[in-house]
């Protein structure tokens, strides 16, 4: 007898979480956040196709089981005695092995199809800015401390003739709203009231709070990490956390062990 077995290996949680790695590069290359890019590595279409192929193969195996069952009845009617019983027993062993295989292939196939077609597309490539961060029109929050330091109440708007170049984007005549964030290597300035000002405490206590660690909070407080980057980072980590939980569900759905006991061909 040949027994072919598969044991599901444990999924390995990756501890290298919350390492803040910024992609340095040009603004239009989605700099500052590697997590959306990591999501793009996951092959959703491939997973869906693979799952469907497995399921169609499981269907073929189920057809074979039906054929073997029906023909087994025919064989029992046509062949008596010890030799006939032995032939029938061997057919039964074969049938059992095909059932085990079909069940495993179909189960894994359905799980992978679900993950690839139903889960991943929701998390992939949605709401991605194509030309990099746009601080004026993006809905990312600006924190109060960006304006609080020197209490600028200047009402004179500085008209910057070079603003279209993006090089000098100071908008206040005293230029107090422009900051350099060394962690994300970025200059940011905002026209007053162009973007809603939110409290950092609100950010920390929101759903994003758990995805920002102490180092990053300190960097935010020290104005070394800009709110836009922090916000996108936390959002991407939150998505990744959800995807991980779906992968864990997929893994739990799979059979832990499959044994196919095919008769030897000798």
Question: Given the complex with another protein, which of 56 and 199 has the nearer CB atom?
Answer: 56
- Residue 258 found at the interface with another protein (CB under 8 A): yes
Question: Radius of gyration of the chain from Cα atoms?
Answer: 30
Nearer to another protein, 151 or 266 (CB): 266
Q: How far is the CB of 221 from another protein (least distance, A)?
A: 25
Binding to another protein (CB under 8 A): which residues in 39-68? 39, 41-44, 46-47, 49-50, 53-54, 56-57, 60, 63-64, 67-68
CA dist 143 and 136 (Å) reads 14
| Chain CA centroid to CA 43, Å | 10
- Does residue 108 bind another protein (CB under 8 A)? yes
Q: Which CB, 219 or 258, lies closer to another protein?
A: 258
Please state the closest distance from residue 41 (CB atom) to another protein, in A: 4
Q: Across-strand partners of 142?
A: 197
Least distance to another protein, CB of residue 23, Å: 14
Query: Which one of 25, 28, 71, 199 is in contact with another protein (CB under 8 A)?
Result: 71
The string of DSSP codes covering 209-252 is GGGS-HHHHHHHHTT-S-HHHHHHHHHHHHHHHHHHHHHHHHHH
- 140-179 residues in contact with another protein (CB under 8 A) are none
User: Taking a C-beta distance cutoff of 8 angstroms, is the pair 233, 35 a contact?
Assistant: yes
Instruction: Note whether 184 and 234 are within 8 A (CB).
Output: no
């Amino acid at each position: 007898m040949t027994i072919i077995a598969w044991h599901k290996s444990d999924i390995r949680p990756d501890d290298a979480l919350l390492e803040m790695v910024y992609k340095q590069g040009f603004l239009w290359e989605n700099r500052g956040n590697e997590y959306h890019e990591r999501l793009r590595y996951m092959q959703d279409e491939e997973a869906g196709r693979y799952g469907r192929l497995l399921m169609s193969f499981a269907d073929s195996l189920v057809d074979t089981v039906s054929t073997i069952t029906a023909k087994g009845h025919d064989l029992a009617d046509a062949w008596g005695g010890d030799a006939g019983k032995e032939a029938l027993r061997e057919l039964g062993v074969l049938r059992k092995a095909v059932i085990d295989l079909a069940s495993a292939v179909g189960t894994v196939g359905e799980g992978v199809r679900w993950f690839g077609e139903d889960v991943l597309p929701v998390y992939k490539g949605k709401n991605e800015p194509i030309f990099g961060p746009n601080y004026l029109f993006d809905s990312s929050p600006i924190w109060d401390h960006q304006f609080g330091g020197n209490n600028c109440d200047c009402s004179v708007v500085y008209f910057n003739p070079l603003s279209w170049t993006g090089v000098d984007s100071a908008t206040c005549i005293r230029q107090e709203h422009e900051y350099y964030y060394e962690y994300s290597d970025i200059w940011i300035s905002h026209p007053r009231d162009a973007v809603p000002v939110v409290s950092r405490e609100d950010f920390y206590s929101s759903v994003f709070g758990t995805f920002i660690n102490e180092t990053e909070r300190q960097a935010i407080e020290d104005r070394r990490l800009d709110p836009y980057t922090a916000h996108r980072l936390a959002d991407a980590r939150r998505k990744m956390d959800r995807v991980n939980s779906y992968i864990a569900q997929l893994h739990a759905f799979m059979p832990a062990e499959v044994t196919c006991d095919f008769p030897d061909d000798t």
